């Protein structure tokens, strides 16, 4: 029979215990990012993968690439147009409005798959994972500092090098309008040189022209007015304060041309990039979106958030060794002998901080020790026929140059394991 293959741009991930494998890095990234979210006292929100397509048209905007050409939408059996979510923010706000919680403050996190029908390449997939946070119900100020502090904590947690955070401010409604008018006026004489995409952006959301990939547009923009001349002094000092406070942890750059690919942003925006990523260099992005709740039929709910692209982020990690010790448990007895498995059970209840890898397969001691080394075990506990008869176990020290192994009683094994 023919084999069935996975869909283009959609990857399988499997933990084979090899710490160099990207899948292993992805799972570790997810675990540790979740820990940062909970340490900051954020609460989890989990929304469905499928939503009414209108949710994304209304939030991301019909001029955005996400809605224009990347959305996975189709009619269900009832002829309702539904879409696989391309991002998590709109769903989180929809859920909060639906639960009638849009009058209170929230600090939320989520982690899950998103779908965008993009041309797959390194770092760009059709199904990818985002770990995100949304801070709802707070005006500009404290949440901006909190979110950049969280980005820095995540960068520190994973000891990332060669990355920087770009920040900008899109202004309040009034200054954004003045800037857009100035931009339109500046671009008017160049209209014949703009491609169709940039012309559409110019009418639907002029700020998005700044994000154009067209070289000619970018060279025209070199002399365009800068948003710096239009935003309020409070916005300028927010950018400067953030840069000054966090500069010692991560390189923070004010970039007055930074705009985001979704229409709902207002005010402070940011992106983290790494020179190690190649063309798709942004591993995280976010910003303030004060008007999204009203646009989705909810109350006034000033908000800010960000999402990390888990695959891109994981590819930057060099060292994923965890603080938890790993011990391998090897039996060289018949598979039907129950005693060793009960001993392993007792060890696990004695010390839950240890990762105990009980090797289930038959095989030689040599192959089992090879596996123990591969999964970074510090010790191997070995029970063969002789140990079983004598009521003992062998502790093999895998990382100790001076000590090879020791035979101990089961009681001694229990105290050794408890003390790890």
- Nearest distance from residue 107's CB to ligand HAM, in Å? 12
194/307 with CB nearer ligand HAM: 307
Residue 134 tokens, joined = 């949304």
- Report the C-alpha gap between 21 and 40 in whole angstroms: 29
3-state secondary structure of 254: strand
- Nearest distance from residue 105's CB to ligand HAM, in Å? 16
- Report the C-alpha gap between 224 and 369 in whole angstroms: 65
State which of residues 158, 270, 283, 417 lies at the interface with ligand HAM (CB under 6 A).
283
Interface characters, 105-144, with ligand HAM (x: CB under 6 A): -----------x-x----xxx--x-x-x-x----------
Q: For ligand HAM, which stretch binds (CB under 6 A), given 44-52, 101-109, 248-256, 305-313?
A: 305-313
Residue 345 tokens, joined = 């059970």
Helix (H) or strand (E) holding 26: helix 22-39
* Biggest CA pair distance of the chain: 92
Determine, following the binding rule CB under 6 A, whether residue 284 of this chain makes contact with ligand HAM: yes
DSSP-derived secondary structure letter, 124: B
Determine, following the binding rule CB under 6 A, whether residue 309 of this chain makes contact with ligand HAM: yes
**Contacts (Cβ under 8 Å, ≥6 apart) of 136:** 93, 96, 102, 105, 106, 107, 108, 293, 301, 303
Q: Hey, which residues between 11 and 50 contact ligand HAM (CB under 6 A)?
A: none
Determine, following the binding rule CB under 6 A, whether residue 61 of this chain makes contact with ligand HAM: no
Determine, following the binding rule CB under 6 A, whether residue 228 of this chain makes contact with ligand HAM: no
DSSP-derived secondary structure letter, 264: T
Helix (H) or strand (E) holding 44: strand 43-44
Gyration radius of the chain's alpha carbons: 27
Determine, following the binding rule CB under 6 A, whether residue 311 of this chain makes contact with ligand HAM: yes
Q: Contacts with ligand HAM: how many residues (CB under 6 A)? A: 26
88/267 with CB nearer ligand HAM: 88
State which of residues 137, 206, 267, 285 lies at the interface with ligand HAM (CB under 6 A).
285
Residues in contact with ligand HAM by CB under 6 A are 87-89, 116, 118, 123-125, 128, 130, 132, 134, 261, 282-287, 289, 305-307, 309, 311-312
């Amino acid at each position: 029979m023919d084999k069935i293959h996975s869909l283009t741009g959609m990857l399988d991930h499997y933990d084979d215990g090899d710490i160099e494998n990207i899948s292993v890095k992805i799972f570790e990234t997810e675990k540790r990012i979740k820990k940062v979210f909970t340490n900051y006292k954020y609460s989890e929100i989990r929304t469905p993968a499928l939503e009414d397509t209108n949710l994304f048209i209304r939030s991301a905007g019909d001029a955005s690439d996400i809605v224009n050409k990347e959305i996975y939408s189709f009619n269900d059996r009832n002829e309702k147009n539904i879409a696989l979510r391309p991002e998590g923010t709109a769903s989180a706000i929809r859920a909060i409005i639906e639960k009638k919680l849009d009058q209170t403050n929230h600090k939320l996190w989520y982690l899950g798959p998103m779908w965008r029908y993009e041309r797959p390449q390194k770092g760009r997939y059709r199904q990818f994972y985002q770990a995100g946070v949304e801070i709802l119900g707070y005006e500009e100020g404290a949440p901006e500092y909190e979110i950049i502090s969280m980005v820095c904590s995540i960068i520190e947690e994973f000891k990332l090098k060669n990355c920087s955070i770009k920040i900008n401010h899109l202004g309040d409604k009034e200054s954004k309008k003045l800037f857009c008018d100035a931009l339109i006026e500046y671009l008017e004489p160049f209209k014949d040189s703009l491609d169709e995409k940039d012309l559409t952006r110019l009418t639907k959301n002029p700020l998005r022209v700044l994000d154009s990939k067209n070289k000619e547009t970018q060279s025209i923009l070199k002399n365009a007015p800068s948003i710096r001349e239009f935003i309020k002094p409070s916005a300028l000092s927010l950018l400067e304060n953030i840069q000054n406070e966090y500069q010692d942890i991560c390189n923070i750059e004010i970039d007055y041309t930074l705009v985001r690919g979704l229409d709902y942003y207002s005010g402070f925006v940011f992106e983290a990039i790494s020179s190690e990523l190649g063309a798709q260099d942004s591993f995280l992005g976010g910003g303030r979106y004060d008007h999204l709740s009203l646009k989705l039929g909810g109350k006034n709910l000033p908000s800010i958030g960000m999402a990390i692209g888990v695959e891109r982020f994981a590819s930057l990690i060099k060292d994923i060794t965890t603080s938890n010790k790993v011990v391998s448990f090897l039996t060289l007895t018949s598979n039907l002998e129950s005693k060793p498995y009960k001993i392993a059970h007792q060890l696990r209840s004695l010390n839950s901080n240890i990762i105990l890898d009980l090797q289930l397969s038959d095989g030689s001691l040599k192959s089992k020790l090879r596996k123990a080394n591969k999964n970074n075990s510090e010790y191997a506990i070995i029970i063969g026929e002789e140990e079983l008869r004598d009521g003992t176990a062998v502790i093999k020290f895998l990382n100790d140059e001076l000590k090879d192994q020791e035979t101990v009683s089961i009681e001694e094994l229990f105290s050794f394991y408890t003390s790890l």
